[in-house]
Amino acid sequence: MMKFLKQVGDYAKETVQAAKYIGQGLSVTFDHMSRRPVTVQYPYEKLIPSERYRGRIHFEFDKCIACEVCVRVCPINLPVVDWEMNKSVKKKQLKSYSIDFGVCIFCGNCVEYCPTNCLSMTEEYELATFDRHELNYDNVALGRLPYKVTNDPMVTPLREFAYLPKGTLDPHDLPKGSQRPGRRPEEIAEELKAAAAKKEAANADAAE
Amino acid sequence: MNSGIDLQGTFITSLTDLGLPPGLAKVFWMPLPMLLMIIGATVAILVSVWLERKISAAAQQRVGPEYVGPQGSLQPAMDGLKLIFKEDIIPGNADSILFTLGPILVILPVFISFLIVPFGQNLLISDVTIGVFLWIALASIQPIGLLMSGYASNNKYSLLGGLRAAAQSISYEIPLALAVLAVVLMSNSLSTIDIVQQQSGYGILGWNVWRQPVGFVIFWIAALAECERLPFDLPEAEEELVAGYQTEYSGMKFALFYMASYVNLVLSALLVVVLYLGGWESPIPVGFLADLLGVSETNSAVQVITASLGILMTMFKTYLFVFLAILLRWTTPRVRIDQLLNLGWKFLLPVALANLLITAALKLAFPFAFGG
């Protein structure tokens, strides 16, 4: 009899607990309702991609030495490097270069390993086409620079969360000149420069 | 107890005064409330679809529809218009008669159930003496329609969805009926009017929810399951079954399912309000306020205000529950089919049964508080 009562009690306890958890969950959802939407009204508003955004790859034809490192570090050997040996100068001469962005995973390995820095990542991400073969960019298409969001008169550029001033959650209607918290890369570079100059001066003093 | 405004009586007497026989006058009267109720229910669909989309958006920190009409309020009408113009497809090898009959059988009972929903003392289509029982009986026609459309679609997902819908509806109807039975026991009547009247007089304190808290929770859970709302939306669980019995439907036939689900939600919320939250009664009784202001309750202005306040009160409470259902949708994860049946048969059914027995015992012990 006691065992049965204990079972009933445990069951009731579990039920109350379940109800409590559902109540907690409801309060979470309810709380979310009063938060501001995070919506970016896309074609009219666009987020400014961060500095390290890995978008479409940019390629500079004249810098390329046709070493094919990009092909070797690519997970699927994607870049197509067409070159021929120029006997007179004993150098490889690049004829054409292409990357198929329908297959590329934008890992950025090629950019990282390129010895002459002829590859770079852009902030372009709107690559939609009607035919996937149009995504196979040749060296001309790869050499085009993307249009910046901040220069587009049709688009309201919005800053990403990490680039908003401290305590701000809404990228709309920021006061002019507001900056993200922390030091900006230029400031850090300047400080480092100043520190280096100081150290040099100290060294020079010591040498005397 | 004063009966408030009697529109039907006034209408019929004015027509008989014009020289019409009373029978004919009643025939003229009858389509009016029905039409009004159908229009009301349709508007309620649009409102709840809009609410669902807006509240869902808010819960997920999105904006939701906002271009069609102010705050996107015409979006559901737009969706309906789109569905009307869509091609009506009957899949190959499907049973076309059953396929067409299915959605009709699903939506008709829901609309007929509005027969018994009161918005005021005399503001309902018909005060049927078997009231809530009629609703439960009509609700059990629905799974037949679901099963029919699932079976006729010639699609494995549809069939599975239809079977699940039938299993779910049947297993949750029993706790639902038992919860209703406890309320009926207290008010000694199946009529929705009598059930509300039994709760009236003490304002918010007199509502059944205080006397039937367990029944209230059971009723709400079972009603959510009947409506196939989110914690119990297995019949149309898109991750598992594409869209269940709705998979093969498009155009107006799909719209019928869609409308049925939302009317059903509103209807369930209305019945929760009628059975447990005092229907059209305000939290503070209107009669008490009228006495306080020194106005007679039979005053025509007071009666008009009372009637409109009653409708407002009913709608307010109803949409409170619609809101709760939407909030629950984004809070609770979907249960598995075995968990669903376990919850229905092993938890809700015994608890509802115990609740009924305890109510009966309390009724015998304290007849003044539990409707002797």
So what's the ipTM on this one? 0.72
- For chain A positions 111-130, those within 8 Å of chain B (CB to CB) are none
Cβ of B60 within 8 Å of Cβ of A36? The answer is no
Backbone angles phi, psi at A149, to 5 degrees: -60, -35
Task: Measure the CA–CA gap between B231 and A26, rounded to whole angstroms.
Answer: 13
The arithmetic mean of pLDDT across residues A77-104, rounded, is 91
Element (H, E) at A94: strand A91-100
Other beta carbons less than 10 A from residue B296's beta carbon: 11
Report the gap between the CA of B370 and the closest CA in chain A (Å): 25
Task: Measure the CA–CA gap between B213 and B344, rounded to whole angstroms.
Answer: 18
**Helix ranges (DSSP H) in chain A:** 2-33, 69-73, 109-113, 139-142, 185-207
Handedness of CA A148, A151, A154, A158 (dihedral sign): positive
Report the gap between the CA of A162 and the closest CA in chain B (Å): 18
What pLDDT, on a 0 to 100 scale, did the predictor assign at position B4?
57
What pLDDT, on a 0 to 100 scale, did the predictor assign at position A58?
93
Closest by Cβ to B327, choosing from A29, A36, A38: A29
Closest by Cβ to A32, choosing from B61, B63, B332: B61
Does the CB of A176 have a partner CB in chain B at under 8 Å? no
Cβ of B327 within 8 Å of Cβ of A32? The answer is no
Per-residue pLDDT of chain B (372 residues; tens, 9 = 90+): 345 567 777 777 888 888 778 778 778 778 888 888 888 888 888 999 999 999 898 888 888 888 888 888 888 888 889 988 988 888 888 888 888 888 898 888 888 888 888 887 777 777 778 888 888 888 888 888 888 888 888 888 888 888 888 888 888 889 999 999 988 888 888 888 888 888 877 777 778 888 888 889 999 999 988 888 878 887 777 667 777 788 888 888 888 888 888 999 999 999 999 888 887 877 777 777 777 777 776 677 777 787 888 888 888 999 999 999 999 888 888 888 888 888 888 888 988 999 999 988 888 888 877 775
Cβ of B62 within 8 Å of Cβ of A25? The answer is no
- For chain A positions 33-92, those within 8 Å of chain B (CB to CB) are 33, 35-39
**Terminal CA-CA length for chain B:** 19
- Which letter does DSSP use for residue A64 in this model? -
Q: Report, in angstroms and rounded to the nearest whole number, the Rg of chain A calculated over CA atoms.
A: 28
Task: Measure the CA–CA gap between A76 and B205, rounded to whole angstroms.
Answer: 72
Q: For an interface test with A, which of B54, B61, B323, B329 has the most A Cβ atoms less than 10 Å from its Cβ?
A: B61
Does the CB of A15 have a partner CB in chain B at under 8 Å? yes
Q: Torsion angle of alpha carbons B256, B261, B265, B271, nearest 10°?
A: 70
Cβ of B61 within 8 Å of Cβ of A26? The answer is no
In the block, tokens 């008009």 appear at B304
What pLDDT, on a 0 to 100 scale, did the predictor assign at position A121?
92
Q: For an interface test with A, which of B324, B331, B346 has the most A Cβ atoms less than 10 Å from its Cβ?
A: B331
Q: Give B-chain residues touching A22 at CB under 8 angstroms.
A: 328, 331-332
What pLDDT, on a 0 to 100 scale, did the predictor assign at position B372?
57
Does the CB of A7 have a partner CB in chain B at under 8 Å? no
Closest by Cβ to B58, choosing from A15, A25, A33: A33
Q: In terms of pTM, does the model score above 0.90?
A: no
Task: Measure the CA–CA gap between A35 and B343, rounded to whole angstroms.
Answer: 34
Decide if pLDDT at A52 tops 60.
yes
What pLDDT, on a 0 to 100 scale, did the predictor assign at position A113?
93
Q: Give A-chain residues touching B60 at CB under 8 angstroms.
A: 32
